[in-house]
Amino acid sequence: MSIAVSKLWKDLMLLKSHIARKSMRVTRAIMKKQLPKGLYAITAQNLSNGRDNITVVKEMFDSGIKILQYREKQKSKLEKFKECEIIKKLSDEYGVFFIVNDDIDIALAVKSGGVHIGQDDLPIEKAREIVGGDMTIGLSTHNPAQAQAAVSKGADYIGVGPIFKTFTKSSVEPVGFQYLDYCVKNIKIPKVAIGGIKISNIKSISKYNPENICMVSEITSSNNIKETISQAQEQMNTQKE
């Protein structure tokens, strides 16, 4: 085989390998489960009126929640893993998109649909290297620069907030409606409005039409979770009509 032919053969093999890798990335992107639109719930056992997470999660699922993030900052790694194992099984039964906050190792261990990280957590590029292309990655953002960076670095969705003052994330000042409006108009990946959102103010969020609206303590601390979720969904739907 001549040197020219040999080089051509090597070039063709390299091109074939490049095309195969690109095709695999495209296939994974197509196969990746999309985040459902609508109400997005988060666990908060310390704000659940003495109830454990599993009891509250079951009530959420029975009430129609289709997205749940497990977020428990004070529990041990083992406690979180055991709860996530149970919740993952429940989410599969109910058809709920299950996301683990911060703990990439637990997300991988229980095979959750996604992992959510913050600005002070592992950089999203490194998170992607670890979880691969099939797992959804959400990133909390608090200003336009962070939102744009999230898109460019491969986030699948962003958290936008806190919209109002919230005790579940007291270290960050409220961003208000201006930042939410910016994201809806300029950020093409899904936006999850979050932070201090209640039945009393959810309409003011819904009018901006983010793909998702997150409620935490309003749901977990409710004495009637089904009624609270029903009211929230009704308010969201009414605003869109």
The pLDDT value recorded for residue 84 is: 98
The pLDDT value recorded for residue 29 is: 47
The pLDDT value recorded for residue 28 is: 45
The pLDDT value recorded for residue 178 is: 97
In the block, residue with structure tokens 């950020």:
187
The pLDDT value recorded for residue 187 is: 98
88, two tokens: 């993952």
Burial class (CB in 10 A: 0-12, 13-18, 19+), 215: buried
Taking the C-alpha atoms of residue 90 and residue 96, their distance in angstroms, rounded to an integer, is 8
Total-model pTM: 0.86
pLDDT < 50 positions in the chain: 21-30
The pLDDT value recorded for residue 31 is: 56
Q: Is the dihedral of CA 153, 157, 161, 167 positive or negative?
A: negative
Q: What is the pLDDT of residues 106-132, one digit of tens each?
A: 999 999 999 999 999 999 999 999 999
Taking the C-alpha atoms of residue 37 and residue 46, their distance in angstroms, rounded to an integer, is 27
Whether the Cβ atoms of residue 237 and residue 209 lie closer than 8 Å to each other: no
Cβ-Cβ contacts under 8 Å for 11 (sequence gap 6 or more): none
The pLDDT value recorded for residue 18 is: 54
Whether the Cβ atoms of residue 236 and residue 205 lie closer than 8 Å to each other: no
